[in-house]
Chain A
C-alpha cells in the first residue's frame, strides 16, 4: 500500500469520526437547545415547531397561537415535564396508568383529567380528596382552561402552552 493512500485514509477516518459526531448532534439539535429554553418556564409561551426553523410555519403560528399544543408542569416534582397534546384526554393522578403520574402527597390516585372539545381544553376534577384548582378557583365541573393559567393539584402546577 502506498504511504500516501494510508496517510490520506488515516486523516479521512478521523474526519469521518467527527462528521459522525456532528451528524448525531445535528439529529438531536432540537432537543439540545430545547433544554436551554425550558430553563425559563415562566417566560412568554413558546411555540411548538420553533426550533425546527421551518420558515413556512413561522408566520402561521402567530395567528394560531390560541390553540394549546403542550401541557407543561411548572411546579412540583415533575417540573419541566412537557406533554404534547393530541386528541386524547389526559388523566392526572397517582395511579400508574395516568398519563401524568404525579407522586404528590396531596394528589389522589385519579385526581383530574383534561379533555379537549372543539380545540378547547376542559379540566375536570375526578372526585379528588384535596381538589383541583384553576388559578385560585376550585374546579367543580368541566371548566375551560385558558392558555398560561395554572392548574394546581397539591404541590404540582400545570399550564397549557401554545
Chain B
C-alpha cells in the first residue's frame, strides 16, 4: 500500500473532484422544484376561480406569489445557513402548505356571498389567515435554523424541553373546560381571541428529551434482556420509563379525550426506543400496551362512563358510522361520502361541496380536498408526505451522531404517524380523532410546530450531508465557538 502512495497522488485530486460532486449542495435543484411547486399552487388557485367564479380574476396569482416570495426567502436562508440540507424537503412541504392555503381560500370563496367573492382580500378569511400563519411559521423556522447552527446544541436543553413538553401536554387537561374544550376534546388553550394547541409544540420538545434520554440509556435498554420466543425482551426494571410514558399518554386519552394525541405521544416514544435499541420487542410491548389500554378505555367507557365516555362514543362511531348518520356519525359519514363522490379523479378543484363537511378546514381537509382531486390526486399528496418522511429518515441515517439520528428519525416518524392518525381516521381505518393534517389544516399552532420540525430536519440533514472537508475551504463544523467551549458540557451529555 505504501508503494501505491506515489501514483495515488493524481487520483486523489481527481477523486477530490468526484468527492465534491457527491457532496454538492443541490440548492439549484431545490429552487427549481420549489418553482414547480409554486406553479402548481398558482394553477390550483386559477382553477378554483374558474370553477367557483366562472372566470379567472386578474389577481388570482396574488396568494401564490406571496407564498412564492415567502418560500424563496426560506430557500435563501437555507442556501446561506444550511447549504447541504436536503433539497427535497422544502419544495415538498411548500407544495402541501400552498395547496392547503389554496383550498382554504377556496372555502372562503364558497362561503362568501356571490357579490363579494371577487373582492376577497388576500389576507382575509381562513385562507388569508393561513397565508399569514405560513409567513410567521417560515420566519420562525428560518430563525430556528439561524439560532441552531448545530443540532447537537439543543441537547443541552433536553431536560428543560422535556419538562416544558410535559407541561404543554398537560396544560389543557388542568385548565377549566371553558378555556380548553372544543368539540369535546380538551386540547386547546384559549387566550383572548387566540386558540393555541400546545400539544403541537410539545411534540418537538418531548422528542428532544426522548432522544437525549435514550442516547444515554440505550445500552441498558438494548443489552440487558431476557430471550423469550426468539425475541429479546428487556428486564422488568428497564420498562420503567416506557410505562411512565404509557401512563401519561393514557391520562391524555382520558382527560383530554383525544385518542390521536395520546397515540401520537406513545407511538413517538416507542418508535424512538426502537430506533435507539433495534429491539423488535419494544415495538411488540408498545403495541400490546397501547391496544390493551385503548381496549380497556373502551370497556370502561361502556360500563363506567365518566371520562372514558367520549372515547367510547368515538369508537362506536368508528365501528358503525351509519348507525346515527345525522347526528354523531354525521361528520364521518359526510367525509366518506365526499371521498366516494370524488372517486378516482375527483370533481376538479372548486367542483366539490366541501361546505357539507363539518370541520372541513381542519380535521376533514383531506376529505374535502379528496372530493375535488380524487384518489389520483390524494395518492400524490400521500406520496409527498411519504417523501418528506423518507427524507427525514434519510437525514437520520446520514448524520454522524446518535442524538441527531434519534431526533431526526423520531421527528420523521412522528410526522408519518400524525398523517396516519388523521387520514386513517377520515377513511375509517381507525377511530377518528382530532389531529391536524400537517401543513394542510388551518391553524397556526400546527403549522408553526410542523415548520419547526422541518427546520430541525433541514439542520440535521445539513449536518449529515456536509462533506468532512467543506467545499471552498469551509470547515465542516459550524462556527459555534472554539472546540474547548463545546467540549466542556456536552461530553457528559452524550455519555451513556
Contact = CB atoms under 8 A, between A and B. Distances in A.
Interface in B339-387: 345-346, 348-349, 351, 373-374, 376-377, 380-381, 383-384, 387
A75 interface: no
Given A49-B18, A69-B19, A86-B16, A97 B5 contact: no
B490 interface: yes
Contact of A96 (B7, B346, B373, B486): B486
A1 B50 contact: yes
A141 B470 CA distance: 28
A84 B21 contact: no
A11 B91 CA distance: 22
Contacts of B324: none
B18 A9 contact: no
Interface string A1-44: 10001110111111011111101110110011001000000000
B55 interface: yes
A84 B467 contact: yes
B458 to A, nearest CB: 14
A143 to B, nearest CB: 11
B386 to A, nearest CB: 9
Given A69-B18, A96-B493, A20 B87 contact: no
A152 interface: no
Interface of chain B: mostly helix, strand, loop or mixed: helix
A21 B36 CA distance: 11
Interface of B: 1-2, 4-9, 11-12, 14-16, 18-19, 21-23, 26, 29, 33, 36-37, 39-40, 43-44, 46-47, 50-51, 54-56, 86-88, 91-92, 95, 152, 215, 218-219, 345-346, 348-349, 351, 373-374, 376-377, 380-381, 383-384, 387, 390-391, 394, 397-402, 405, 467-470, 475-477, 483, 486-487, 490-491, 493-496
8 contacts: A1-B56, A9-B47, A13-B373, A20-B95, A27-B29, A27-B87, A103-B494, A144-B2
Interface of A: 1, 5-7, 9-14, 16-21, 23-25, 27-28, 31-32, 35, 48-49, 52, 57, 60-61, 63-64, 66-67, 69, 77-78, 80-81, 83-88, 90, 94-97, 99-101, 103, 105, 109, 116, 118-120, 144, 146-147
